[in-house]
Structures are given as structure tokens and as C-alpha cells.
Amino acid sequence: MFLNKKTIFSLVIILAWLFSIKSGVSFAQSNLNNFSITTEGAASLGVAQMVELAQPNVKDGSIVSSSTQGVVLSTIPYDPQVLGVVARDAAIIFSTNDVKNGVPVIPVGRVYLLVSTQNGIIKKGDEITTSTIPGVGVKATKDGYVLGVALDDYTDPNPSHIGKIALNLELHYFNAKPTLAGSLTDIFKFAILPTKQGPSPIFKYIVAAGVVLASIIFGFLSFGRTAAKGVEALGRNPAAGKIIQLGIIFNVAIVIAIVLAGLSVAFLILRL
């Protein structure tokens, strides 16, 4: 039986596709062997990037953050500097030659996270944040940065025990009491709180412009009142003209100082 060109071409495409799948599986298995991975029945769903940590022997599910000492296990509650969660069972792992002794870290996705009941038992749907226990998450009970939402319960009554739950990882700011006054306060906290990306440039320009405008308005209002009173006093008592003029000059100097102070504060804000 003879095959036409179209059939042969189709067979070649199918064979190439099967070969690519086999190669991909072999490559993935090779990565797993290199990391000596042990999973708990399901892989984390996310894209991981190799990150070099300052501490050795970091466990899967540990929370890591950036610091002045490099990338370390997070030990600050409601840490805004979180980079992600260690996941050697990530679906996709990107690696470079620059990172020789790194671990894969997922910044966003479905991960397995080390947790404790230090802040109370964890129920499905609770917001999870960082804690004073290195690399371990706890239930969020107040406003601040959180890792994401728990997908499992964890009810071990002993807060010194460390367990593992599934988490929908997405770093964001959590408002524990969504009231109007609290929301306005939290918006301000969110804007000025330093993160690994730094404050928003737009927010810095808005604040700097507001400071300059406020100092100019305050300065001119103060000068206007002083000048009006000085002219009125000069009309009532011409003999005290020199003293009144010195007073006006002094107040002008104060206005200039206020405006310069506002400009200085604005410059410092822009340098943040």
C-alpha cells in the first residue's frame, strides 16, 4: 500500500510531536531528580524562578523575602517584602547559570505553604500572612500585607507545630475591618508602605506637589494678613513707620522660609 505525500507529512508531524512530549517529560524528570523533589500528591501550580538564598536547607513551602542581607526566610509579620514561596514541585521552573545554589520560588499561583496556628486555627478562605516563625505563615487578624487565601483547613491546637496547606498565592494588602474611615486610612498606609518595588512614582509626585502648593498658599495668606495689618497700622500711626516696615520685612522673611521648607520637603519626597 502506497502512502501519498500528505499522509507521510502528517505522520512526520505526529512523530515529532510525540518526540517533543517525551523529551519534555525527560527534561522535567531530570529537573526533579536534580532537586531531589518529594511531592504530597500534587504539584504546585505556578511558574518558579531560581533564587539564591542566604540560608541553607530551606524546606518546601517556606516563605522568602528580600532584605539587606539578600533573600532570606521571612520573619516579619505582614511582611511587604515577600518574594514568594519555595516550591521544588512547581509546574515550570526557570533557571539561569547565574544562580548555582538556588531554590525555585513561586510568586503567584497555587502552592503548598508551611503554616502554624500561632494566630489561631486556619479555615478555608482565611487570609494568610507571614509570622515571626522563619518562613511560616499564619492567619491574618489585622490590616497588612498577606500572601493569599487558604484552600485548606489547619486546626492543630499546638502553635509550635508546623503543618502544610494549599494556598492561592497572591500578595496583596488586606483590610480586616472594611469601614469608610478604615479604608481611607488603609489607602494611605498602602501608598506609603515600602514594598520591594518601592512607592508609586505617581503617588510621590502628587504628595510633593501638594506639599509645595500648601506651603505657597499658607505663606501668601500669612503675608496678606500681615501686609494688611501693617498698612492699617501705618495709617493710624505714621510715627512708627520704621518699626512697622521692619515687622513687614520680618514677616516676608518668614513667608520665604515657609515656601523654601515646603520645596525642601517635596524634594525629599521625590528622592524616596
User: pLDDT tens, 30-55?
Assistant: 444 444 333 344 467 888 888 888 78
What lies within 8 Å, CB to CB, of 87 at 6+ separation is 44, 46, 48, 60, 61, 104, 105, 106, 111, 112
- 156 vs 26, more confident: 156
- 233 vs 118, more confident: 118
User: pLDDT tens, 125-158?
Assistant: 999 999 999 999 999 999 899 999 999 999 999 9
Percent of the chain at pLDDT exceeding 70: 63
Q: What is the pLDDT of residue 119?
A: 94
In order of 63, 94, 196, the CA distances from 156 in angstroms are 20, 35, 33
3-class secondary structure per residue, the chain: CCCCHHHHHHHHHHHHHHHHHHHHHHHHHHHHHHHCCCCCCCCEEEEEEEEEECCCCCCCCCEEEEECCEEEECCCCCCCCEEEEECCCEEEEECCCCCCCEEEEECCEEEEEEECCCCCCECCCCEEEECCCCCCEEECCCCEEEEEEECCCECCCCCCCCEEEEEEEEEEEECCCCCHHHHHHHHHHHHHCCCCCCCCHHHHHHHHHHHHHHHHHHHHHHHHHHHHHHHHHHHHCHHHHHHHHHHHHHHHHHHHHHHHHHHHHHHHHHCC
The pLDDT mean for the chain works out to: 76
Cut 0.85: pTM above it: no
Alpha carbon 148 to its chain centroid, in Å, reads 12
Pick the closest to residue 96 from 55, 53, 60, 52 (CA basis). Answer: 52
Q: What is the pLDDT of residue 27?
A: 41
User: pLDDT tens, 193-251?
Assistant: 555 445 556 667 787 788 888 878 877 776 666 666 666 665 666 665 666 667 667 77
